[in-house]
Amino acid sequence: MSVSVPIELGYEFEVRAKFDEVFALLSDVPRSVAHFPKVDRLTDLGDGVYKWEMRKVGTAQVHLQTVYACKYASDKGKGTVTWTPVKGVGNALVGGSWNITDHQGRSTKCVLRTQGTVDVPLPGLMKPVVAPVIEGEFEKLVEQYIANLVAVFGGEV
């Protein structure tokens, strides 16, 4: 028995770095993921597909590890980096996108959208308790990721 927890997040921010610098980092999956907290392992499965293995959380007796894979594609002309879920890998399906826009050569606007589901091996009765915890943890990780990127890009405008 498992509980499926849906997650959907969106963030917008503007950084001091130039478009080329921002796009280069966000479209390079290993470089970008290096700024994401609590990633235990990122594995290149080939053909633009990467498997994420997050650190285990919980106790030695009861723990959860989120594992999933995404196929990445980038288009510099459109200023996009997208990722789509790969079914059959791990216990989550995650997709999303970066939309990166140059602001007159002085700054770069970044729009992050991500959504997915995480399956947790618990009885359905636990969903009201577990869902807010998982949503909150995912939100904290993404917010720390953004803060790390903002620092690399010289701060927000």
Domains and CATH numbers, the chain: 3-152 (3.30.530.20)
Q: What is the pLDDT of residues 127-143, one digit of tens each?
A: 898 888 889 989 999 99
pLDDT of residue 130: 84
**Lowest mean pLDDT, pick from 21-30, 49-58, 108-117:** 49-58
pLDDT of residue 59: 67
Mean pLDDT across 12-35? 98
Beta strand 3-15 with 107-120 is antiparallel
Q: How far apart are CA 118 and CA 134, in angstroms?
A: 8
| Sequence-distant (≥ 6) Cβ neighbours of residue 154 within 8 angstroms | 15, 16, 17
Q: Is the pLDDT of residue 13 over 80?
A: yes
pLDDT of residue 62: 65
Instruction: For residue 56, give the nearest of 43, 74, 38 by alpha carbon.
Output: 38
Q: Is the pLDDT of residue 61 over 80?
A: no
More confident residue, 125 or 64: 125
Mean pLDDT across 5-14? 97
Q: How far is CA 64 from the centre of its chain?
A: 18
Q: Is the pLDDT of residue 63 over 80?
A: no
Q: How confident is the model at residue 43 (pLDDT cuts 50, 70, 90)?
A: very high
Sequential DSSP letters for 92-116: EEEEEEEEEEEETTTEEEEEEEEEE
Instruction: For residue 150, give the nearest of 106, 97, 108, 98 by alpha carbon.
Output: 108
Q: Are 138 and 39 in contact (CB under 8 A)?
A: no
